Amino acid sequence: DQQVKQNSPSLSVQEGRISILNCDYTNSMFDYFLWYKKYPAEGPTFLISISSIKDKNEDGRFTVFLNKSAKHLSLHIVPSQPGDSAVYFCAADTGNQFYFGTGTSLTVIP
């Protein structure tokens, strides 16, 4: 049973526009939520995280929003750049175990 879900397998966005990637989860015991970015033939790399006690965290062009009542988080990338084209995984942490979503492939069109 998937505890972290990314329902959009792919997303295409024009360069300069906003990319919004979504993630839903079922376990209310998750402490931390993270986004990882993955290029082909490489391991995932950490992008941004948010504690369960916060509702927003910002780092440059990347902002993560957490809505605990809806068990939903989203990653906003503004402005989107062609180099952002990659697969994005959201992940959640119970303190020792990690659960990843299935990934969303983002394509930023120049």
Which spans of this chain sit near another protein (rule: CB under 8 A)? 2, 4, 6, 31-32, 34, 36, 41-46, 49, 89, 91, 93, 95-103
Report in angstroms how near the CB of residue 4 gets to another protein at its nearest.
Answer: 8
Report in angstroms how near the CB of residue 60 gets to another protein at its nearest.
Answer: 16
Report in angstroms how near the CB of residue 94 gets to another protein at its nearest.
Answer: 9
Please give the sequence-ordered ranges of beta strands (E in DSSP) within 1-110, or none if there are none.
4-5, 10-14, 19-25, 32-38, 45-51, 56-59, 62-67, 72-77, 86-93, 98-100, 104-109
Report in angstroms how near the CB of residue 28 gets to another protein at its nearest.
Answer: 18
Handedness of CA 41, 31, 67, 65 (dihedral sign): negative
Nearer to another protein, 13 or 101 (CB): 101
Q: How far apart are CA 84 and CA 76, in angstroms?
A: 12
Nearer to another protein, 1 or 70 (CB): 1
* Residue 84, phi then psi, degrees to nearest 5: -80, -10
Nearer to another protein, 19 or 104 (CB): 104
